[in-house]
Amino acid sequence: MSGFSRGVRLGVDVGQVRVGVARSDPDGILATPLVTLARDLTADADKVPTDLAELARLVEEYAAVEVVVGLPVNLAGKDGPAAQQVRAYATRLAGVILPVPVTLKDERMSTVVASRRLAERGVRGRRQRAVVDQAAAVEILQSWLDGQRRRT
């Protein structure tokens, strides 16, 4: 894969309540679930929310070279309120993890696909809600990794 720099990437699915996180192997072949973080909506504007601080810690722990954040554009490919919130989140994250780049990836339907795959494996109800954010992060990151491989 010429043109693709080696290194771990983190995939992030930003929800209203939770943030799903996935990671890739250093060769960028496979995305795996990592953790689900609770959104910290109580932090003051001048204080780093705990979810962003934890993402920064994960970037450091895994020596991530890039973070791929799912952008929930609508089916017509336009930004709605959710996409605007995720863009703001990604901008704030980028400021916390400098110089590691943050890339936005169209994630239309990633949560739907993740929910369907979990249901096919017999994971439903409360158990599914606990891991669906991580599974969506895997979908986002794996799709991005596959796209990078197709380009090279």
By CB neighbour count within 10 A (0-12 exposed, 13-18 middle, 19+ buried), where does 53 fall?
middle
Give the separation between CA 10 and CA 30, rounded to whole angstroms.
11
Q: What is the pLDDT of residues 15-67, one digit of tens each?
A: 989 999 999 999 999 999 999 999 998 878 788 999 999 999 999 999 999 99
CA dihedral 31, 37, 43, 45 (to 10 degrees): 10
Average pLDDT for 6-23: 95
Q: What angle do CA 41, 117, 77 make, to 5 degrees?
A: 60
Q: What is the pLDDT of residue 129?
A: 66
Domains of the chain, with CATH numbers?
A: 9-151 (3.30.420.140)
Give the separation between CA 29 and CA 26, rounded to whole angstroms.
8
Radius of gyration of the chain (CA): 15
Q: What is the pLDDT of residue 152?
A: 66
Q: Which helix (H) or strand (E) holds 27?
A: none
CB 136 within 8 A of CB 13: yes
